[in-house]
Homo-oligomer: A and B are copies of this chain.
Amino acid sequence: MRDVDGRRRDLAAMIAPLQRALVAAEQPVLRAHSLSMWGYVVLDALDGQPVRTQAALAEAIGADKSRIIGVLDDLEAEGLLERPRDPADRRARLVSITAQGRRRRAAVQAEIQRGEDRLLARLAPADREALLRALAVLADESQKLD
């Protein structure tokens, strides 16, 4: 893929403004549902499977382990997740999403994806499919590099 003047742009240079726009579009949705960005990311990561330790959770979402504690406190206070002590290792906490957390996450995600769909509508259907497929691969791949 070449630019107008014939050179390829950096991946990062194309992704950065897109990322900024997506995050900006998410803010009002998150606010409407009383979730912080990190709160949403945590719920997103927990939905699917719970996690053994908070450190593992932090690493999975690319956050600092000392920073997510406040996020977990808030989510727990709102009843969106539970984190009882692991009876097998009382140092660790078994973090898992609650039914209410699942509902909240689903509602937010539906709204966010409605917004994203408006952007994706600009693409040819085949390109759209390829984009999502490629991003899924690259996202997984780049996780491993960290």
Interface residues on A, range: 35 or more
Q: Is the CB of A14 within 8 A of B139?
A: yes
Q: Is the CB of B12 within 8 A of A22?
A: yes
Indicate if A119 sits at the interface (CB-CB under 8 A).
Answer: yes
Count of chain copies: 2
Q: Which residues of B contact A127 (CB under 8 A)?
A: 130, 133-134, 137
Max chain B C-beta neighbours (<10 A), residue from A1, A18, A119, A141:
A18
The CA-CA distance from A94 to B24 in the complex, in Å, is 31
Q: Could you list 12 A-B pairs, sorted by A, with CB under 8 Å?
A: A1-B129, A1-B132, A8-B113, A11-B120, A11-B132, A15-B19, A16-B19, A119-B138, A126-B130, A127-B133, A130-B130, A131-B131
Q: Which residues of B contact A26 (CB under 8 A)?
A: 12
Within 8 Å by CB of A142, from B1, B8, B22, B137, lies: B22
The CA-CA distance from A22 to B25 in the complex, in Å, is 23
Within 8 A of B (CB), among A77-112: 109, 112
Indicate if A76 sits at the interface (CB-CB under 8 A).
Answer: no
- Encoded as 1 (CB less than 8 Å from any B CB) or 0, chain A from 29 to 56 comes to 0000000000001001000100000000
Within 8 Å by CB of A8, from B1, B12, B17, B132, lies: B132
